[in-house]
């Protein structure tokens, strides 16, 4: 493939976002939350597990500890008992309690509303902070680049970074700021339904003409429809 100019890449990125908007015009978060605090905890718990799995444990979690004040006083072992079905539940339980304690100690019991403040909370990195800012405060300060967003951006060759964290600034440089807001949710759905990790459905993909990796996911030939012999 010939080297693509930055302008051409940006134009292709804008068209990707336009088509994603047509595919998922009203997409909402799959996580169940009712405010900034429960959202922080939900996103913290969702690392390396599914939203479905998180939604199974959070009703009991938030029944017992619905506020930062309640969670800050929880015993980590008790939180572990509630979320033990999730991966890395030992660390996540500790982060839930420590995060609540930090919200009390540093922010008067209110979840902070800036990137700089959110990333000081235990267990909260830039990806989590981006989601909380977007969903809880209506602030778009970046793009939450999870495994789905990273996979799609890499296959589209909008980024060439070795990690999701390093991919975010590249993606922000390619996409106009006014398009950042819905990227995470739309691309997550697209990654689950079409651009899957192992067997992407390139033959049914709305972006196939924009994708340099079409039918070559992970560098290998993939799922090109076969012609039937007559």
Active site residues: 127, 146
Element (H, E) at 164: helix 164-174
Check if the beta carbon of residue 174 is closer than 8 Å to that of residue 4: no
- Number of other CB atoms surrounding residue 210 within 10 Å: 17
Tell me how far apart the alpha carbons of residues 205 and 35 are, in angstroms, rounded to a whole number.
35
Question: In terms of residues, how long is the chain?
Answer: 230
Helices (H), 65-142: 68-72, 76-83, 89-107, 115-118, 126-137
Measure Cα distances from 23 to 17, 26, 30, 122, 184 in Å.
10, 9, 17, 36, 14
């Amino acid at each position: 493939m010939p080297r693509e100019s930055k302008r051409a890449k940006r134009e292709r990125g804008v068209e990707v976002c336009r088509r994603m908007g047509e595919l998922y015009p009203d997409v909402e978060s799959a996580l169940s939350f009712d405010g900034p605090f429960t959202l922080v905890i939900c996103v913290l718990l969702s690392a390396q597990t599914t939203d479905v799995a998180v939604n199974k444990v959070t009703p009991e979690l938030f029944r017992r500890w619905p506020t930062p004040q309640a969670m800050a006083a929880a015993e980590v072992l008790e939180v572990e008992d509630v979320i033990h079905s999730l991966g890395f539940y030992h660390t996540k339980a500790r982060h839930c309690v420590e995060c609540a304690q930090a919200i009390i100690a540093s922010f008067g019991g209110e979840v902070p509303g800036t990137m700089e403040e959110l990333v000081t909370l235990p267990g909260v990195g830039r990806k989590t902070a981006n989601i909380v800012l977007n969903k809880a405060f209506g602030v778009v300060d970046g793009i939450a680049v999870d495994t789905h967003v990273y996979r799609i951006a890499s296959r589209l060759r909008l980024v060439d970074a070795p990690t999701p964290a390093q991919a975010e600034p590249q993606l922000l440089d390619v996409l106009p700021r006014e398009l950042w807001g819905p990227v995470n949710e739309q691309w997550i759905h697209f990654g689950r339904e079409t651009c899957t990790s192992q067997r992407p459905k390139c033959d049914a993909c709305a972006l196939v003409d924009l994708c340099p990796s079409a039918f070559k996911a992970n560098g290998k030939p993939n799922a090109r429809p076969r012609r039937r012999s007559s």
